[in-house]
Amino acid sequence: GAKFWEVISDEHGIDPTGTYHGESDLQMERINAFYNEASGGRYVPRAILVDLEPGTMDSVRASPFGSLFRPDNFIFGQSGAGNIWAKGHY
């Protein structure tokens, strides 16, 4: 999911802080499909990141685009399922 937002941000001219630095009006077309405009002209992804494993969310937060997301849009469990399908399902 994090790589998706890096690519979309690049296509729309959004830097890791959520600021638009694009060069074309085409980049701003339909930007509301992926981003909400917050105060100060900052763009925030329209996304909720969900995982059972808290370490996955930590790696997204530590990535270059981690500050792009709202902190309350990260939802994760206390411990992962250890790649055991039944444990995650039940």
User: What span, in angstroms and rounded, lies between the C-alpha atoms of 38 and 55?
Assistant: 27
Which residue in the block uniquely carries the two structure tokens 């990141």?
49
User: What span, in angstroms and rounded, lies between the C-alpha atoms of 44 and 61?
Assistant: 14
- Does the predicted model carry a pTM greater than 0.75? yes
Q: Indicate the number of domains in the chain.
A: 1
Does position 82 have pLDDT exceeding 70, yes or no?
no
Residues spanned by the domain of 44: 2-89
Neighbour tally for 38: CB within 10 Å:
11
Express each pLDDT in 4-60 by its tens digit.
999 999 999 999 999 999 899 999 999 999 999 999 989 999 999 998 888 888 899
| pLDDT of amino acid 56 | 86
Q: Are 76 and 50 in contact (CB under 8 A)?
A: yes
